[in-house]
Structure formats: C-alpha cells, structure tokens
A and B are shown apart, each in its own frame.
Chain A
Amino acid sequence: MTATETPLTIAGKQYQSRLIVGSGKYQSFEQNREALVASGAEMITVAIRRVNLGQNKGEPSLLEVISPQQYTILPNTAGCYNAADAVRTCRMARELLDGHKLVKLEVLGDQKTLYPNVTETLIAAQELVNDGFDVMVYTSDDPLIAKRLEEMGCVAVMPLGAPIGSGLGIRNPYNIRMILQNAKVPIIVDAGVGTASDAAIAMELGCDGVLMNTAIAEAKNPILMASAMKKAVQSGREAFLAGRMPRRLYASASSPIDGTFF
C-alpha cells in the first residue's frame, strides 16, 4: 500500500510512530500512561525538576510508570530562558537517565508567548552538540534559523505551528514548507496543534512527525484524543505520500461526459 513509507529515524534509532507526546498536564500518571498507549507514540517528553523534599514519600515516580526500557524518554529544557540553564538541565538529564544523549532543547523568550529565544537557542545547541548530545531543537518557523540549527548538527529541528499550549494549529504552513524543502534532518512540528486536523495538516505538508502535549492532555477525554491523534498523524502521512490532487478554481466532473443519453 505505502510503497515509499520508511520509519522515522532520529539519531540512528527507528520509530514506527511519527507522533511524539508530552507528559505534562495530566490528571494522574495512570491517565498519562493510558493516553500514551492510545497514542501509539514511542517517544515521550519529560521535564527535569527539583525533588520535593519530605513530600510524596512512597509515591511512584514518572519513570516507574513510563518505562525508559519501553519508551524513548525525551528530557526537555522547558522553563529555561537562557542557554546556560538549558545546558545545565540537559547535563542533569543525562546523569539522571544513565548517559542518555537525546534531549529536547527549548530556550524560551518570555512567559506570555513562550516563543523560543532563538539567539540563546543557537548558543545552547552548539554547546550541547559539542558535548555529544543528540539535540532535537524547538525553534521558530524561520527557515534560515532551522537550516542553521541543522548545520550545527541538531538531529531534528522542531518549528512551532503556533505558541505552546495555544491550540491554534499550523499558523504558517508556507514557512513550514520552506523549512521542509531545505531540510536534511527530520522536521517535527512542536507546539500549536489543537485537534486532530491540525496534526493531519502538519503531516500533509510533509513534516516527519508531530510533537504535542496540551492537545491530548487538555482534551475532555485525553485517551480518546490520543487515539484520534494517532490516526490523524497516520492519515496525514499517508495523504502526503499519496500526493494530493491539484487545487483548481473551477469544477472538474468526476462522471464522464461521454455516454449521456439526454
């Protein structure tokens, strides 16, 4: 059926699923785990934070519920507003995960937009690549910056579709297309997806994958939405591979003109 489909390869590892999910904003670990299973995702982001001293004793930790043996854990640098904090967070993640090199770099610009701070992102990306990390980098949808991050050695470039948690969808598909035309590494839309059609649009554009958290976690039924997103990513991918029909201004009859009897 899909003659040209190949697995998504990131940092030498192959993934059958092109959906990457977050682990934030869920009501419980159990809901998170069920949504993860329903999404079919093989990679899941986590945040690195201080342990709460003297609290939650005996409670399971996230990595006991979501096993690093079963899933690729993608530690992020969410909450970092400068390169130094982001690099420090990645090094802590590497120690936490026993030498794990794959990280999601995000350096934020301000709390209202959560737009990437691109200048600090570039500094951190270079330092992390030099230190041996496999960097998946969240960035703006600027084609020149995306190319520069690729040239630095990032293993995936992840432009936003819209602000983090906004659910506004793919606001600038033309920029995403420009990024895709020049890319030699996987391009993954990270942030902005609100519902299944947004994920399908990202994949129809030719993106290699989609990363989302809020669209699933804040759905009224996160587990059902996770299932919807799995299908949307698959159908968008298949539609991209199939090659869509051209857009026409006027109609084009589907039934033949020949053989009419009136």
Chain B
Amino acid sequence: MQIFVNGDSVELKEGATLIDLLEHLSLREAKVAIELNQSIIPRSQHAQQALAEQDQVEIVHAIGGG
C-alpha cells in the first residue's frame, strides 16, 4: 500500500503498523513524535496502530531553533 510520510510517498506491505514504518525508515530508536492523519498517536500505541492506504503520516523531532 502507498502512504505519505512527511509528504513523501512510501510503499509498505498491507497491515503494516507504525512500528513497522519506523523500522522501515530506520527510526525505531529515534526520539520522534508522530501524527497520523493529523491526530497524534502516542508512543505507547505505535505497535498497535495499523496503517491504511493513503494515510498521511508526519514524523517530527527536535532541531536547533531560537
């Protein structure tokens, strides 16, 4: 299935969860926050949260800023 992560198209197998996506992106250990279709998915729910075709995912982290 096709989903969009930070605006980029990503192909994942059917039934993939957010943890699968983080694994796919080598972000499993990264300190990030995730929105799925503009709703925040708490870290504790990443393993259960299934993804669906055309989902919009935002993955953010902290960077330098003033």
Contact = CB atoms under 8 A, between A and B. Distances in A.
A224 interface: no
Q: How large is the interface on A (under 10, 10 to 19, 20 to 34, 35 or more residues)?
A: 35 or more
A23 interface: yes
B61 A78 contact: no
A242 interface: no
Interface in A7-60: 22-26, 32, 45-51, 53-54, 57
| Interface SS, A side | mixed
Interface string B10-47: 10000000000000011100111111001010110000
Interface residues of B, number: 27
A53 B5 contact: yes
B54 to A, nearest CB: 18
A152 interface: no
29 contacts: A22-B65, A23-B65, A24-B65, A46-B63, A49-B61, A49-B65, A50-B6, A50-B7, A50-B58, A50-B59, A51-B27, A51-B32, A53-B8, A61-B30, A61-B31, A61-B62, A62-B62, A62-B63, A63-B62, A64-B31, A76-B65, A78-B66, A88-B38, A95-B33, A95-B40, A96-B31, A96-B62, A213-B66, A214-B66
B50 interface: no
Nearest to A95: B33
A22 B60 CA distance: 19
A205 interface: no
A32 B31 CA distance: 19
Contact of A49 (B10, B26, B31, B60): B60
B62 A73 contact: yes
A212 B66 CA distance: 7
Given A51-B6, A51-B27, A23 B64 contact: yes
